[in-house]
Structure 1
Amino acid sequence: MTRDEALQRIEALRAEIRYHDHRYYVLDDPEVTDAEYDQLIAELKALESAYPDLVTADSPTQRVGGEPRPELATVRHSVPMLSLDNAMDDLALAEFDRRIRAAFPELGPVPYTAEPKLDGLAVSLRYERGTLTLAATRGDGTLGEDVTHNARTIPSVLLRLLGTDWPEVLEVRGEVYMTRSGFEHLNRALARRGERTFANPRNAAAGSLRQLDPRIVAQRPLRFCAYGWGELSVDPGISQFAMLQRLAAWGLPISPELRLVEGLEGCRAYFAELGSRREGLDYDIDGVVFKLDRIDLQQALGTTSHHPRWAIARKFPAQEALTVVEAIEFQVGRTGAITPVANLRPVQVAGATVSRASLHNFDELRRKDVRVGDTVIVRRAGEVIPEIVRVLAEHRPLGSKPVEPPTHCPVCGAEVLRPEGEVIARCSAGLWCPAQRKETIRHFASRRALDIQGLGERLIDRLVDLGWVREPADLYTLQQAQLAELERMGDKSAANLISAIERSKETTLARLIYALGIREVGETTARLLAERFPDLEELMVADEESLMQVEGIGPVVAAQIRGFMVEPHNRAAIAHLITAGVRWPRQGPSVGSTSLPLAGKTFVITGTLSKPRELIKARLESLGARVSDGVSRQTDYLIVGANPGSKLAKAQALGVAVLDEAGFASLIEDFI
């Protein structure tokens, strides 16, 4: 290959990799496998190694690397990065709308852009001739810190814009944040290495971006979302919403929740709707940002020294609050783990009353030094159990003493053991301890496991205390008349519960594996195990070496799985479940096999359905179909439930066949 040929191939590879990065990190709709992507990167690296003079700063190979910096340099923003005015209640939002209408009475109902207010760190990305040249934090709005070396490691931060019609200068404003799932994964990894964990995703994102060593930042699951612009060498046009679409066309990620709403009622409806889904999002938001959509009117209104007059942040209730620890007690989990839990003086956090908070384990309790009587900051985010973020030691009462771990189980009195090298102390009694039996059943019936609706904590306690349920399979022996005799149950509630238990028999192998409650096996690991061992019997006899071939499973997790599967009681419990009628779609030949009835067909699922989405996906894949996350021209069918969202409109616009649940059942009834 000549140098000119190498240059031509390098440029083609860079363009192709940028395209696939955008599909994966921004659109969440990859078109190639990880192996195919890795081959492209490997080929580019090899060519750049052979022709080092052809390496450019915006090459995909230059994301990670560089030596630590001695300090972060100061950057002056060419256009100030202002804060937003806050509306803490609906009256303040109504007053904001009134001021806009008073300024432009001819406008009628005011058009606003609406999007979530991400709880992260505001940054500015400067592109010159399409190439990233500078990234800076907001700082005080006038002076920020140069974090270019770190921003380059974030996959969703483009090193070079897509397309060719971008302006000479484009300064993009946005938020660097961390998803909740990424935050939990990071904290687990830090804890395993004995390093200090982060209090919440925002602190993790801010702390990561301000690191001096970009090699550390590259290991952190950071993301970027654009919401505006600063210096711009072209006319942005008349519409904020339309300009954000232009940013998206250049490959910059914008919020998938971005909407154009009309008037105060439109703002209120959006705020209520997003608030109802807030806890189901995989990222923290602390409000909604509303901006006057007309850019010419924005300019007419201008700004104060602190905030633009044409935008406001309608805030959600605070997710952190001050309260007092009234007592510390110890809970016993399904694996015997003993967890210290703080009983708190009830306090409102994120719209809910919080009276308890997990302290995780005794090392964490000792690190935070939480004591009875302490004033603490408590946090509630998403579906995560409330936790104590920090103790205000200056308010600690005199004479308080550190909490000592128990030597015996608080439920059954058995000895408490703490294996060497582990942070968790456990009851030694196993399933003979009533608390472990109850927690095992709770986990089995939980939403992400077998999802038995109506089987709540108090009812499980009662069923176990009566001796009716000793293991999960016993749930399938319960009778309606038997349950109806229980206090506060009645015939209708008993019938509903029996129906829910019966429905739970139809599940997926991944859900069943997760429901078994194997230590260290969460939802992701359960899914990977189900893919690697589509026959449960294969998993039950797999040795540790075979288990470690599954992505993300090391010797510790493999030993836990193997230990669980060789235990006679566990094998018997699995056999009892199968005898009781628990079943799942058996995985046939690989997805897309031409011998299967739905081979070559692509499905997308959206909305709330009567059955778990994983079950429908497993059925489709067992029939040879491919299940995708996003609707495109390649989609053959869209299966819709309640509240389908934007995917339905896109499918209708593209002429994609739309099936409700009845239509889906009719389509596949001949194959089941």
Structure 2
Amino acid sequence: MSLSKGLIQNIIQQKVLLDGLSNDDLAEFCQLANITYRDGSPIVSDQDYDFIYLAELKRRLPHHSLLQTIEPEGQSFSEEKVLLPEVMLSTDKAYSWDEILKWIERIEKSCLEVGLNINDIQIKATPKLDGFAGYDDGLHLYTRGDGKKGSDITRVFNRGLQTFNDCKRGQGAGEIVVKKSYFEQYLSDSFEHPRNFQASLIKEKALDEKAQKSINDKAALFVPFSQLPSWVGSINELKSNFSQIVGNILTMVDFDVDGVVFELTHQVLKRHMGANRKFHRWQIAFKENKDKAQVKVLGITPQVGRTGKITPVAELEPTQLSGATIVRATGHHYGLVIEQGLGAGSVVELTRSGLVIPKIIKVLKSVETSIPSCCPSCKADLVWQSDFLMCINHSECPAQIVARMGYFFKILANNDGFGIATIEKLYEHGIRKISKIYQLSEYDFTQMGFGDKTSENLLNQLRRSCSEEIEDWRFLAAFGIARMGMGNCENLLKYCLIKDIFELDMLQIANIDGFAVLSAELIVDGLKSVRDEFDLLSSYKFNLELTPLNQNNLDFTHSLVGKKIVFTGKMQGSRDDMKKHAKSIGIQVVSSVTGKTDYLIIGDNVGQKKIESAEKFNVEVIKERDYINMIG
């Protein structure tokens, strides 16, 4: 650990502002806070971890490994890890009604894609327990671990732990918790927080008298999520009664609750929405922070990102908000600046809801805005792209070049030392490309003004970044190609080896499930722009872990390649599976019949409206059996 005890204490006591922490220090503090939280001895509150430190890490380093993977469960579980019976993902979080609305909009869009009526969709809401996550298969109890492998802690059941409502064992995921009323009456004098106590139930050491008594009294329990009390209703009911539903759910159980989990109940829709590496897309947890403040804006500072996007940053009168001094907040984009009248002299309402350089909820007093005409880094003329003000001098803008090089090392996440300060110093000495950095020697670093020890460390970190195994999708994502985040890179490499990625054309990419035509065009152009740099870096033989290829490949030979089709009616198999298969073999699946549709594929009990639309637009109708013959 590089953080000193003194610095850790100053961060906890907020004597050091977040702006004074380097990215590496912030990331290390978040990892420490997470580990101590899961060990049952948190150094900061759960709310501060979510709303201050983790939120700031998300703002600065959105692709940091702590945000992309299941959080490590703590140092108290030293046992050998075993494969879980089922993958246990984290739950995505929302901190405002607007974020819940965006989740609902994604559900509505998914309904259109699979032909479901949004009014038929039910949402279930349950309490979000603040305990220790585990998985009970009926024989063993496991910790969540990294989501795929966890520790066997069956010993907790052997000690007499019971299940909630005396339900049967083997109901899958749940949490070990202690009743809040019991804790306050019998344990609060000995333990600062229920989590401290819950940790003592799980550790290998023998239980003390109070812990064993809580088990005997059925105050400490394993609660399967399937057994939690819940609210179930339509999306319209959720929209109309959101605050009341949240209030009721928070008081449903006698356990520590730190939010409300909302999830879909419709299995087809859940399968369609799927998951990323960390979260199920059909589920979200609402955690509310009610702290707000009204603040005067002193000015707006434009900042240049790696893609050329100009972000307006509001400079604020220093304001205490939930114990932190806030001096800046993002204005998101200049379209919003104009729309809301955000500028020097305006007054805004802030909340520490998800961002600690916090979120501007609304502008209370508007002013006349000032919009920059040239890039603050390279002085090139700025252009509008939708609501965004952009510097399109991508090849020569210093801020963009520095940010792109810094992004590469950040996404690799297997090296230290190449933060923005280091990259800026390299830029001052003529380094403009990542491949040039890998050509540097220890002598080159010292000649640029780095100390002997620092130069040695930087060279070692470059070697480490090549030799330490990383996923091929992470390496590809580090180039920062538009629409090629880590999720899309992983998706693409399931269909194509990384060495062949530059041979894909727009149609091949568009026909992979999850990619649209516009994205495919941007990806093809982006791949062309980084081809030379990719080849140069590949000569350093990075230790890449290759993504297993999907059984379906991109060598499409059937007659429906590139054709737009619509499925309707009851099929012999799952219509959802048929759509996914069609996309995987080069067919463009669309949801409604238009003049651009090539074929309507019909099963049984077809609705008359689709047939009429096919006749209107002269679209050929094909029965399911004939369609299967056409694709072989």
Q: TM-score, normalised by structure 2?
A: 0.47
Higher relative contact order (CA 8 A, sep 6+): 2
